[in-house]
Structure 1
Amino acid sequence: MLENRKSYEGHLDAQLAKWKAEIDLARAKAGRAEPRAKVQFDLAIDSLQRAHDEANRHLSGLKEASDEVWEDLKLGTEKAWTDIRSHFNRSIEMH
């Protein structure tokens, strides 16, 4: 169980790092955008940052959970993660 738990949490850590890189890339694009487009980029970046922060909170809770409640929290985290992943995918496709 512990090995699976650490592996799963490591996978989520890697996904968070990927999303952070996508946010950083969007910030770089926003810096080069025309003023009108920059406003849209900034709104999207703010939304992505909030989603990233939420994902990070879920992962932190999962990492701090006792073994007794970890599986239950994992299920909730998976649903939230799916929603956040969809949000990232939609936002990245738009830009």
Structure 2
Amino acid sequence: MQERLAYQSKMRSQLDNIIAQIEKLEAAAKQAEDEAKNKRLEALRLKRVAFEERLQSLQNSSGEAWEELRLGLESAWGELQSALDNAFAKFQ
């Protein structure tokens, strides 16, 4: 149970960091008023929401389903991090 709580805390912290980075990108996109950047941001927001939903499912899961949900969360995390890295690359 401790491992599960520690993992959830770690992922929530990482998500909070991603949210802060997305907010920086949003501010930059508003200044640039760039439609392509805004579309990238919207895709990034959707991935963030999907990740948050998976994290919530993990937090509400039973012990048996936890490992399976954790694997799905890891996959969603990779997609979210990749999308964030790509967005930062395009914004520079």
Normalised to the residue count of structure 1, the TM-score between the two structures is 0.87
Cα deviation digits, residues 34-86 of structure 1 (max 9, x gap): x4xx2122111101100100100110110000011101111121122212211
Question: For residue 17 of structure 1, what is the aligned residue in structure 2?
Answer: 16
CA root-mean-square deviation: 1.2
**Structure 1 residue 56 corresponds to structure 2 residue 49:** no
> What secondary structure does 1:65 align onto?
coil
Identity of aligned residues (%): 25
Provide the C-alpha distance between the structure 1 equivalents of 2:26 and 2:83, rounded to a whole number of angstroms.
17
Letter of the 2:81 counterpart: R
Cα deviations across residues 7-58 of structure 1 (Å, max 9, x unaligned)? Answer: 111111011111111111111112211x4xx212211110110010010011
Summarize the alignment of residues 79-90 of structure 1 with structure 2, pairs less than 5 Å apart: 79-90=75-86
Decide which structure has the larger Cα Rg and report it: 1
4+ residue runs of structure 1 moved beyond 3 angstroms?
Answer: none
**Which structure 2 segments of 5+ residues have no match?**
none
